Amino acid sequence: MYIKNIPEVYTYRRYASNGSTSIYHSQDKFSVFDDQLKIAPDLGRSKAKDKPIFWMNQIDEMSFKPTTGLKKTSSPRWFYGDQKRKKDHLIFEFREDKEYLIIHFFKGFKPISPKLFTEKFIRL
């Protein structure tokens, strides 16, 4: 039985960095995301109500696929976002000076207050 409040956890390691933009590679055999992810700062072009600090893009062989914005929390190394039109909740954790990116993926779970849910998750 699948319980929506238990996340799938994926680990990525940074293998390239150019200033504030980083490329991460999956450390897991299987992931719902592509093997490579690009994390780049927001350039202020978003029309989103809750402005993201960073953007995550999946990298396949042909192009970058926009995935989600990373929105800030009260903790500097934790962020949250969503995908598939807010059907999946994502919590991002940077570890060891952003060397590792841990993604907590809540498939099919849309919290009423994404920021509040994320703040409570961080305190666990």
Report the pLDDT value the prediction gives residue 3, as an integer from 0 to 100: 47
- Containing H/E element for 55? strand 54-59
**What pLDDT sits at residue 50?**
77
Are the C-beta atoms of 88 and 104 separated by less than 8 Å?
no
- pLDDT of 90 reads 96
Residue 1 maps to a domain:
no
**Model pLDDT, residue 62:** 66
What does the alpha-carbon distance between residue 101 and residue 95 come to, in Å, rounded to a whole number?
Answer: 6
The segments of the chain whose pLDDT lies below 70 read 1-4, 61-66
Number of independent structural domains in the chain: 1
Q: For residue 80, tell me if it sits in a domain.
A: yes
Q: How far apart are CA 57 and CA 34, in angstroms?
A: 9
Q: With respect to residue 3, please indicate whether it lies within any of the assigned structural domains.
A: no
Q: Is residue 87 part of a domain?
A: yes
Domain membership of residue 96 as a residue range: 8-123
What is this structure's pTM?
Answer: 0.88
Q: What is the pLDDT of residue 61?
A: 66
For residue 44, being part of any structural domain is answered with yes
